[in-house]
Copies of this chain bind each other. A is one copy, B any other.
Amino acid sequence: MKKKYFSIYLLFLFSAFYANAQNADSIMIRKIADEILMHSKAYENLEFLCKKIGSRLSGSVNASKAINATVAMLKAAGADTVYLQPCMVPHWVRGAKEVAYAILPGNKKYPLSVCAIGNTIATKPGAVSAEVVEVKSMEALHELGNTVKGKIVFFNFKMNPLYLETFRAYGEAGNGRRIGPAQAAKYGAVAAIVRSLASNIDDYPHTGTTQYNDSFPKIAAIAISTKDAEWLSNAIINNKRLKVFFKTSCKMLPDVQSYNVVGEITGTCKPWEIITVGGHLDSWDLGEGAQDDGAGCVQSIEIIRAFKQMSIKPKRTIRVVLFMNEENGLRGGIAYAKHAEKYKELIVFALESDAGGYTPRGFFTNAKAEVRRKIESWLPLFKNYGVYYLIDGQGGADIGPLEPMGTVLAGLAPDSQRYFDLHHAANDVFEAVSKRELDLGAVNMAAFVWLVSEYGFF
């Protein structure tokens, strides 16, 4: 019996200790939150990236400007070290504004709202004009097989509105854009039209990349706005031989020297244990790259600003990385992981914000077993700032290449309802970002980074 009471006593002591620790953490996180909610520079940094620079496609002049601008922001935030990490990036250019229309009876033209899909070739020679065959699934294309020869395949894959997490719908519907053009080419199609990966119905075409397959010819491919995808689908019902004309002028130029932008606070106890936190600095060329992913960049910079302002001296090194070329190559993320491998860096944790700067709800993580339980034990600490759950996921494309090294990966999981209204489209502009939502995201990221810097995972 004595032993039992002693155990209970120990349990009590442990609980009291644990409760006190959580309480101290809670107070610390409240202070970090207050600093960010009162004095954040994230929103004005984002305004600069969006309004003074604009879109930042890899290899572009704007991408270079953004590198210089964020170096200055990291220095102003007080980072101990700021440096560039080189990587070669693809340099795809859109060229002249795309032209596209359906050819109606009497040779009337019905204009379509489209954009070339990233990394595609231009229409050759000059333009394409052919009958359109609609498919609503990849299986449907395979069933049609060679009957699509000489035609334009129209991948009309809708994002499933029934999922709460729109990223799931994006993942499922996205194979139309990602592999559709190559699959259409396999059967002899001359071009592809892909329904924009958008969860709403409007006039904006949404770009993104496609992956050609070296076994098949490269064909031109455009994304069409959801509104015009609906129109086209209906038009085909009434006119099975409907033709579409389109012209794109994009091309892939030789690779260009570019950089990841890095800023660090050196750890005081275990500086060799590195916590990476970041977003990607490049963006598609159509909008201003505000939610995707200027938001993630300025949130990450804000962590350094807040910690330095508060004189927080983290035990482990905090390294902000603004990755280059997430959108059409992932060269920055790959270069980062290669460098870490080569120099045997110990990256214990990587946190990315690349799901928009919307109101925070959770974190993606690949953490398993005891690491996951540890993160779960921290969840109550985020509750006052909007985060309340963990979802399975790698956290972000740029940090994915770190996974084989055993790095614990996580990503901010903001509310996803509005993201695919503007993702990769011309309406991804500064005005679509809420200062409070952006700052709350930074608060939760800063809290997570602080907890890992303080306690590690093991």
Contact = CB atoms under 8 A, between A and B. Distances in A.
B434 A38 contact: no
Contact of A434 (B34, B418, B434, B440): B418
A328 interface: no
Contacts of A434: 200, 417-418, 421
Interface centre among A34, A161, A200, A434 (most CB of B within 10 A): A161
A173 to B, nearest CB: 15
A401 interface: no
A417 B388 contact: no
Interface in A399-452: 415, 417-418, 421, 434-437, 440
A327 to B, nearest CB: 24
A359 B436 contact: no
Interface in A326-372: 359
A37 interface: yes
Interface residues of A, number: 24
B418 A162 contact: no
A385 B200 contact: no
A199 interface: yes
Contact of A33 (B33, B34, B162, B415): B162
Nearest to A38: B161
A384 interface: yes
A384 B165 CA distance: 9
B415 A359 contact: yes
Contacts of A38: 161-162
A436 B37 contact: no
Interface centre among A162, A384, A417, A435 (most CB of B within 10 A): A417
A19 interface: no
Contacts of A386: 164, 415
Contacts of A384: 164
Contacts of A291: none
Given A359-B359, A388-B388, A162 B417 contact: no
A388 B33 CA distance: 22
A231 B33 CA distance: 27
Interface in A136-170: 161-162, 164, 166
Nearest to A443: B164
Contact of A418 (B34, B388, B437): B437
A198 to B, nearest CB: 11
What 10 A-B pairs have minimum CB-CB distances, sorted nearest first?
A: A417-B436, A37-B161, A359-B415, A417-B437, A418-B434, A359-B417, A37-B162, A417-B434, A200-B435, A164-B384
28 contacts: A33-B162, A34-B162, A37-B161, A37-B162, A38-B161, A38-B162, A161-B436, A164-B384, A164-B385, A164-B386, A164-B440, A166-B436, A199-B436, A200-B434, A200-B435, A200-B436, A359-B359, A359-B415, A359-B417, A386-B415, A388-B388, A415-B415, A417-B434, A417-B436, A417-B437, A417-B440, A418-B437, A421-B434
